[in-house]
Amino acid sequence: MSEITVHIQNPDLSLTSLQAPTDMGLSLMEFLKGNEFEILATCGGMALCATCHVEVITGFENLSEISDDEYAMLDTLPNITPTSRLSCQLKLNSQMQDLTVKIMGDGLV
């Protein structure tokens, strides 16, 4: 499968569903930015700023294990949830079919 469906929960709780390529090595952050979602990603995907913070609504169990660096950065956030991840650390792959996320990053560093 070279495309998956990713769902983004909007502030009004509606969902925007998009087709995402899995064969280009993109991170979820790059995909969201490329589709003009408001995501700062100030550090450019290095897990240093947490401005690409997302809450995973569905599909959390299908994601790669969280790294120590990613956890340390998430742990600095006031709005962390049990299913928080940095979208820059999630490479799109076929296991993420029907992943649903809510963008949480607010630009606070």
Domain coverage including residue 34: 3-103
The reported pLDDT for the residue numbered 56 is 98
88 lies in a domain? yes
Q: Residue 85 corresponds to which amino acid? A: R
Q: What pTM does this model have?
A: 0.92
21 lies in a domain? yes
Q: Using an 8 Å Cβ cutoff, are 47 and 76 in contact? A: no
| Domain CATH number, residue 44 | 3.10.20.30
Number of structural domains in the chain? 1
CA–CA distance, 91 with 63 (Å, rounded to integer): 9
51 lies in a domain? yes
96 lies in a domain? yes
pLDDT 10s per residue in the chain (109 long)?
Answer: 599 999 999 999 999 999 999 999 999 999 999 999 989 888 989 999 999 999 999 999 999 999 999 999 999 999 999 999 999 999 999 999 999 999 997 644 3
109 lies in a domain? no
Strand partners, 72: none
**Using CA of residue 82, residue 87, residue 90, residue 94, what is the dihedral sign?**
positive
108 lies in a domain? no
Q: How far is CA 19 from the centre of its chain?
A: 15
The reported pLDDT for the residue numbered 73 is 94
